[in-house]
Amino acid sequence: MKRIGLLNLAAQNLKRKPFRSIVTVAIVAIAAGTLFSATLLISSVQQSLKVGMKRLGADILVIPEGAEESSESALITGVPTSFYMDESVLDEVRSVPGVDQASPQLFIESLISAACCTGHVQLVGYDPDTDFAVSPWLEENTQGPLGDSDVVVGSLILANKGETVKFYGQDFNVVGVMDATGMGADESVFMQLDTAYRMAEESQQDALSALDVQRGQISSVLVRVNPEVTIDQVAQRISTNVPGTVAVTANEISRSVTDRLSGFLRGFIVLDVIVWVMSLLTIAAIFSMIVNERQREIGLLRAMGSNRNYIFKLMLTEAVLLTAAGGLAGILIGGATLFIFKAVITASLGVPYLWPPLWYFAVLVLGTLLLSVLTGALASLYPAFSSSRLEPYAAIRQGE
Amino acid sequence: MADSIISLKEISKTYKAGPNTVRAVNKVSLEIDRGQMVSIVGHSGSGKTTLLSLIGGLTKPTSGTVKLNDTDIWTLPDKEQSLLRNRLIGFTFQFASLIPTLNVFDNIRLPSTFDGTALVSPERVQELMDKVGLGDRGHSYPSELSGGEQRRVALARTMINEPQLILADEPTGDLDEDTEAEILAIFRQINEGGVTILIVTHSKAVASQASQTLKMHKGHLTENLENS
């Protein structure tokens, strides 16, 4: 025979007024869902920036003046872009004091919906002799350096390892699919710089629209800074010493994303604080009402031999059950909303997105649940305490 | 010498009602022997229910001592006093005192679950349901029962922990004569088993069943009659 435990009795009590219970759950769900989804969004953006910047591997990105916005879009959200400068920039950058390594990249937009091409993506040519961004990944994940007709693709490119993709009328073998970063790299295709130049040359015959890229042109220079100097110092020197270019630090890119997000999140946080305070007050009011309504029953339980602690725990358990249910519902709804509308949210905010690791997800779920439950416990503390202090006889009489 | 289960000494209870102080029970002293069936009668507001609540530890006396089985219940901490109420006393009230979300079976066994140690057997619950004539209603909820049936369930619940004392406040109030007779029969049966019963009532029929009748008037115990 099952014991009539506190949990069981509390759950039965909550079924008495289903509408009131549902409203309480809904209020907590809104608070918990808002908190959960906002925190998950921030964490996912931060996670994406962390992984994406690590993949970029550079402290500074040197690009032509005026290309700041499109390069950031390409890097963060993978919007294909192309801009060029002379490769002589590379030597000028190398000569700047504090530059440890510098490697050129070439950006090419593939054609939109052309029969010759796999899709509208960013093609990135890198120099295998100086590269420190793509090569380390290749060393770990493929047989060796890329061949003349080989490419590696980002995680969102619809091609598997071993398949062939076509750009500007030429076929390329996919020799690897990179791990997701949540950033533009996921929608990019990487090939050797020489392969990219050759593709441009042969596009005159093979492609629907010829590429206007010449050998000797590059799009950016990735820079690693000597550990003895600060990144900002070196960026400043490059901007001064290499005319016609802009040196953007990885931190600046991250900060620009964070800044963009913070405006949106500030409103979100204010809203969430208001919702939490409202839910705290509402639960407190609801439980004061419950105690009032059930005075006779509380007196009766005391007459039957339950002690004050039992009554206190019963009320607290009811509050905890309601808020735990609300927290859980909020997490599910908030998580699902973010999952479904991820693309819309990230596109409208212009931020990268990468789901955080599972352990972080678990901590976030538990944290939100704990906060929900604590809210319930805190809100019901006074009603629960006062109900436990009711004199049984007075409670029975007042409830009549 | 008779064995007292209830011993009241100079017990008083006063309330504040606005600017006035109401003396609901005024210096009542009383001894009730084990195994007795005693009725308390009197007009409304005479202090009968307050006296019953003082005896059961439901309200604290303003002065005087309440002893049950020689234990001064108001010297006990809440946990022990509650345990004493749980084990020694069974209460029945005039109102429908069942928990609406629990079925008959669970309502009856509820008091046995409070201290976390005692867990009565299903057979014991069934035996009590049979005793009050509701053997097949274990799965019914209070809302599905008549007033008389609810009262009988409450009586069965009162008996679950095998109390030595039953305190009944108008247990047959608002019941028809037949149902009142049924309830009284159960009380008699319980009393024959050695349980002391104290009944507050307005009903002469109920009072006449008791071996002793106490009359209250304005907070005082005015008569103590041995019934024939």
What is the helix (H) or strand (E) element at residue B136, kind and residue range? none
What is the helix (H) or strand (E) element at residue A244, kind and residue range? none
Spatial distance between the Cα atoms of A168 and A206, rounded to a whole number of angstroms: 7
Tens digits of residue pLDDT in A389-398? 999 988 888 7
Spatial distance between the Cα atoms of B226 and B33, rounded to a whole number of angstroms: 13
Q: From chain B, pick out residues whose CB is under 8 angstroms from the CB of A1.
A: 109, 119, 121-122
- The percentage of chain A sitting over the pLDDT mark of 90, rounded to a whole number, equals 48
CB pairs under 8 A between A and B: 82
B109 touches A at CB < 8 Å = yes
CB contact under 8 A, A310 and B86: no
Beta bridge partners of B104: none
Tens digits of residue pLDDT in A254-275? 888 888 778 777 888 888 889 8
Section A356-378 average pLDDT: 94
- pLDDT tops 90 at residue B94: no
Beta bridge partners of A85: A218
Q: From chain B, pick out residues whose CB is under 8 angstroms from the CB of A304.
A: 85-86, 91, 110-111, 114, 157
CB contact under 8 A, B115 and A302: no
Give the tokens for residue A228. 């003895």
Tens digits of residue pLDDT in A6-56? 888 888 888 888 999 999 999 999 999 988 998 898 888 888 888 888 877
Section B127-132 average pLDDT: 90
Q: Within a 13 Å sphere around the CA of B45, how many CA atoms are in the beta-carbon half?
A: 3
- The percentage of chain B sitting over the pLDDT mark of 90, rounded to a whole number, equals 59
- Of the candidates B153, B151, B194, the residue with the CA atom closest to the CA atom of residue B171: B151
B119 touches A at CB < 8 Å = yes
- The percentage of chain A sitting over the pLDDT mark of 70, rounded to a whole number, equals 96
Tens digits of residue pLDDT in B146-163? 888 998 899 899 999 899
- pLDDT tops 90 at residue B18: no
Spatial distance between the Cα atoms of A53 and A76, rounded to a whole number of angstroms: 10
Burial class (CB in 10 A: 0-12, 13-18, 19+), A85: buried
SS (H, E, C) A59-74: CEEEEECCCHHHHHHH
DSSP 3-state of A78 = coil
CB A367 within 8 A of CB A67: no
B50 touches A at CB < 8 Å = yes
Q: Determine the pLDDT at residue B1.
A: 47
Section A150-170 average pLDDT: 88
Q: Within a 13 Å sphere around the CA of A213, how many CA atoms are in the beta-carbon half?
A: 31
Burial class (CB in 10 A: 0-12, 13-18, 19+), A283: buried
Section B208-222 average pLDDT: 90
Runs of H (alpha helix) within chain B: 48-56, 78-88, 104-109, 122-131, 147-159, 177-192, 204-209
Section A74-92 average pLDDT: 88
- The percentage of chain B sitting over the pLDDT mark of 70, rounded to a whole number, equals 95
Q: Determine the pLDDT at residue B173.
A: 79
Spatial distance between the Cα atoms of A156 and A343, rounded to a whole number of angstroms: 13
Q: Determine the pLDDT at residue A150.
A: 93
Section A310-327 average pLDDT: 94
Q: Determine the pLDDT at residue A372.
A: 95
What is the helix (H) or strand (E) element at residue A176, kind and residue range? strand A170-177
Tens digits of residue pLDDT in A115-159? 545 667 889 999 999 999 888 888 888 777 888 899 999 988 888
DSSP 3-state of A124 = strand
Instruction: Quote the ipTM score.
Output: 0.92
Beta bridge partners of A122: A109, A188
Q: From chain B, pick out residues whose CB is under 8 angstroms from the CB of A396.
A: 58, 93
CB contact under 8 A, B110 and A4: yes
Residue A206 binned pLDDT confidence (cut-offs 50, 70, 90): low
Q: Determine the pLDDT at residue A257.
A: 82
What's the mean per-residue pLDDT of chain B?
Answer: 89
Which residues are CB-neighbours of A44 under 8 A, at least 6 positions away?
A182, A353, A354, A355, A356
What's the mean per-residue pLDDT of chain A?
Answer: 88
CB contact under 8 A, B59 and A391: yes
